[in-house]
Amino acid sequence: MAKPQANQGILPVKISLTEGDYFTLWAPTYRQHNEEWQAFLGHGEHIYFFNSPAEVLAFIRSGQPHDLDSHPSWNDFAQRPANWVTPTAGDTYDLIGVPQMLADRPSHNAVKCVARCFRITQSLASVLSLLPIQSTFSSHSVLANVQRGSDHYAGENGLSEWSAVGRVVATNWDSIIDSLDEHVYRPDDLIDDAAVKDAEQAIAEADAQVEREKEEKEKAIADIDPYDASVWGASGIDPIKIAIEGRTLYTLRTYVGGRPVFLGHYGQIYTFNNRKAMTRWLTEHGEHDLAAVSTWQDVMNAINGGTVDVIVDPLNVYTFTGLAEDINNGPNNVDTQQLGRAYELIADAADWARDDAVSSVLVANPQTQEYLAYMLGSTSGYVPSAPYTAEVEGWRQLENGLVARFSKF
């Protein structure tokens, strides 16, 4: 049942002929005893055609002998989930529809479908030793060119050749289909109804398992934070966004040994008005403190490869806008999370710069220091009371000190 051809394993296929759709297994090419072969599920002179994937599975489970037993991949195929006997859309061959495909223009899909149908037809003819079909293909070389794809039929000459393929098919295809119809062999005596029903249930259960796994995978993907999956999450170097004095700025920060490290040098934080400006600058400048961080090259590889988006995690957004006014209006008007994050950035910048600018402001403005401690959860005897002029003044000095560190403002 075989003729020479290169190993592609075993495929479940659906073949449309005159009496309807049939299912079987096809080994397009495989190597055995230093020779290349092709074969179908069958035995002796027959290829077995089944009415459903369940019948194919029932036959496989019956243990009946067949010609694919000797295929090097058979044991692996037989142990796969039950639904592996169900053909995919790409393993469906509408042999009856070939003339109609050729009546259409040579689109990518039309040429691909015709080429696939020609290939399996030649394989069926070779395995079944149907010499008239083999002769049709060997004597009309124009049929072989469909394997070259739709580009081969571009232009006036290409359309002319596509029409030539259609004429050969119009003349010969009916006899080809008739010959294949005559060799449809249904091994009904080798399977029983109960086995087919069991196979149907097994395929349905396998399909359901695939759907469950698909849903779980989709849910897992949906649950993944895009930031965690980005180069920023992997490297631990975070883009940060700062809204202050009517401006929005971007920079980068990480922590090494618990200490902050900013995109900057000598106490100056390099800031940018937009994300693209920052990545463009990074491609041209390498002298900054982050360049010494072990994962920095990962970030630069992504930037240079054009595969990076500057994603800012919500926890790395610092909004100073309106804070001084809120402080002046009393504690109930202040968003403590906003205040806490803003102070975090101020303190990180001073820690990185290794100066005492923040400490100096707080020592000179003790009410601001006590106010921050109270608002951020420290227990002390201090309770804010109006007017809040001193607290506001101290806070503005802290903001101004931070702005003074920015390279562009």
Report pLDDT digits (tens) over 38-64: 899 999 899 999 999 999 999 999 999
Q: What are phi and psi of 264, to 5 degrees?
A: 170, -170
Average pLDDT over residues 12-17: 97
Given this model, what pLDDT does residue 379 score? 64
Given this model, what pLDDT does residue 2 score? 38
Structure confidence by residue, pLDDT tens digits, 273-312: 999 999 999 999 989 999 999 999 999 999 988 878 899 9
User: Binning pLDDT at 50, 70 and 90, where does residue 1 land?
Assistant: very low
Do you know the residue count of the chain?
Answer: 409
Given this model, what pLDDT does residue 306 score? 83
Render 369-391 in DSSP notation, one character per residue: HHHHHHHTT---S----S--HHH
Average pLDDT over residues 384-397: 93
What's the CA gap between 322 and 331, in Å, rounded?
13
Question: Residue 47: which of 136, 180, 199, 192 has the closest Cα?
Answer: 180
Contact 264, 407 (CB under 8 A): yes
- Is the pLDDT at 5 greater than 50? The verdict is no
Given this model, what pLDDT does residue 73 score? 87
Average pLDDT over residues 377-403: 89
Structure confidence by residue, pLDDT tens digits, 215-253: 888 787 667 777 888 899 999 999 999 999 999 999 999
Structure confidence by residue, pLDDT tens digits, 139-158: 999 999 999 999 999 989 99
DSSP H or E stretch at residue 157? helix 155-182
Structure confidence by residue, pLDDT tens digits, 313-368: 999 999 999 999 999 999 999 999 999 999 999 999 999 999 999 999 999 999 99
- Is the pLDDT at 167 greater than 50? The verdict is yes
The alpha carbon of residue 109 and the mean position of all alpha carbons in its chain are separated, in whole angstroms, by 24
What's the CA gap between 25 and 15, in Å, rounded?
10
Q: Where are the domains of the chain?
A: 11-190, 225-409
User: Binning pLDDT at 50, 70 and 90, where does residue 29 land?
Assistant: confident
- Is the pLDDT at 380 greater than 70? The verdict is no
Contact 239, 112 (CB under 8 A): no
| Token duo for residue 144 | 């072989």
Given this model, what pLDDT does residue 3 score? 35
Structure confidence by residue, pLDDT tens digits, 78-94: 999 999 999 998 899 99
Give the sign of the dihedral formed by CA 47, CA 48, CA 50, CA 53: negative
Q: What percent of the chain has pLDDT over 90?
A: 81
Q: What is the DSSP code (8-state) at residue 41?
A: S
- Is the pLDDT at 26 greater than 80? The verdict is yes
The CA-CA-CA angle for residues 223, 229, 232, to 5°, reads 135
| Token duo for residue 326 | 């809120």
Given this model, what pLDDT does residue 221 score? 66
The residues, ordered by sequence, that sit 6+ positions from 407 with a Cβ below 8 Å of its Cβ are 264, 268, 269, 270, 271
Average pLDDT over residues 182-200: 94
DSSP H or E stretch at residue 212? helix 193-223
What's the CA gap between 89 and 87, in Å, rounded?
7
What's the CA gap between 50 and 87, in Å, rounded?
13
Given this model, what pLDDT does residue 384 score? 85
- Is the pLDDT at 259 greater than 70? The verdict is yes
What's the CA gap between 277 and 250, in Å, rounded?
9
Given this model, what pLDDT does residue 87 score? 94
Contact 150, 111 (CB under 8 A): yes
Helix (H, G, I), strand (E, B) or coil at 287: coil
The residue written with tokens 């070389």 in the block is: 141
The residue written with tokens 């592609």 in the block is: 8
Mean pLDDT of the chain: 91
